[in-house]
Amino acid sequence: MKFSVIMPVYNVQEYLDRSIMSVLSQSLQDIELIIINDGSTDGSHSIIDYYLKKDIRIKYIQQDNKGVSESRNLALSLAQGEYVYFIDADDYIEKDLLQDMDNQIEEFHPDIIFFGYEMESIRSGKKIIKMPHETSHFSRNEFINNFHLIEHNVDINSLWNKVYNKKFLDKISAIFPAMSVGEDAVFNYQCFKRVSNVTLVRQKYYHYSFERPGSAINTISFNRMEQRLKVVTEYERLCKVLQINSQEESLIKKVNIFFSEIKTILSAGYLSNTEKSEKLIIIKDEFIRYHLFNIMMIFEIRTNKSKVKFIFCLFVLSMLIKWRIRND
């Protein structure tokens, strides 16, 4: 069997039919689809059960809600394919994805294959396409030398724009950490530390929807912020192993996290000014703990957009300090 496709499912009945069909209708038929129903309480089970009766290539497991990391780890332990592909149950793939990946595998036998994808905003309809700069095959040294180029052109954190050699994953004992945010990025960083060769395919195969109503990104969660900052720490460890300078990239990632959280708090209409202030104090303490409360750090950032975000964070948190002094 060539491919194991892993699909964790949790309350996505609105999109699940499309996602399953995009896998089962692949032009390459030599696949298995492993579905882990992680305690869904909507109609997801009925949809899965319908396809389970029609296609023997589906392996289906129901479990109590344990989170996406445990679901993927379980599916990985069951996977029989030579290569593994992860798909989110609310997205879908082009019909020739696995066949085209098989062609690359036959020629290069890479540890990981990167490919392009399309993101579409549910709210605005805006579409963003990201793809490798060109179709190419890299040795480990070439991957390291082109790491930042790959990082900027293709999402290095997500799973769904990559295919993984199962023997490689087994060899390095790759597992998903017990995190609810950024677990895919940390998984990838484990892989990148040990990767021998990679292939990049300049073609769009994955369709990802974002800015859905009720999305967690629009809610206040300090646990999410802590986990996102932990991902940056793991990124720094990866770059240290690869001997890549990550100073500016790490700073920008931290600034983006704090900017996002501050903006969410300020725009939360259901919070009073006092409540916003209390939450911003927590942000300020973390901002200081990460040694970011220094205007001189702006000279370490080259992109204007990131500079503006950094200044915004400094301004809001500085005004917070003045406001508290004035009201004490």
Convert the pLDDT of each residue in 222-246 to its tens digit: 889 999 999 999 999 999 999 999 9
The CATH class that applies to domain 3-210 reads alpha beta
In this predicted structure, the answer to whether residue 322 has a pLDDT above a threshold of 60 is no
Task: Reduce the DSSP state of residue 126 to 3 states and report it.
Answer: coil
pLDDT band with cut points at 50, 70 and 90 for residue 122: confident
In which residue are the tokens 């609810």 written? 180
In this predicted structure, the answer to whether residue 71 has a pLDDT above a threshold of 60 is yes
Give the strand pairing for 31-38 and 58-63. Answer: parallel
Convert the pLDDT of each residue in 30-52 to its tens digit: 999 999 999 999 999 999 999 99
In this predicted structure, the answer to whether residue 218 has a pLDDT above a threshold of 60 is no
Share of the chain above pLDDT 90, in %: 84
Instruction: Tell me the C-alpha distance between 116 and 171, whole Å.
Output: 27
Q: Which helix (H) or strand (E) covers residue 209, if one does?
A: strand 197-210
Stretch 208-235: mean pLDDT, rounded?
77
Instruction: Please indicate whether residue 11 or residue 320 has the higher confidence score (pLDDT).
Output: 11
Q: Give me the chain's average pLDDT, please.
A: 92
Instruction: Look at residues 197, 117, 120 and name the one whose alpha carbon lies nearest to residue 159.
Output: 117
Give the strand pairing for 92-93 and 197-210. Answer: antiparallel
pLDDT band with cut points at 50, 70 and 90 for residue 320: confident
Instruction: Tell me the C-alpha distance between 50 and 29, whole Å.
Output: 19
The two three-digit tokens of residue 24, written as one number: 């089962």
Instruction: Tell me the C-alpha distance between 296 and 193, whole Å.
Output: 32
Instruction: Tell me the C-alpha distance between 82 and 197, whole Å.
Output: 16
CB atoms within 10 A of CB 192: 22
pLDDT band with cut points at 50, 70 and 90 for residue 213: low
**Domains of the chain: which residue ranges?**
3-210, 220-327
Give the strand pairing for 162-165 and 83-86. Answer: antiparallel
pTM of the model: 0.92
In this predicted structure, the answer to whether residue 249 has a pLDDT above a threshold of 90 is yes
Stretch 150-172: mean pLDDT, rounded?
96
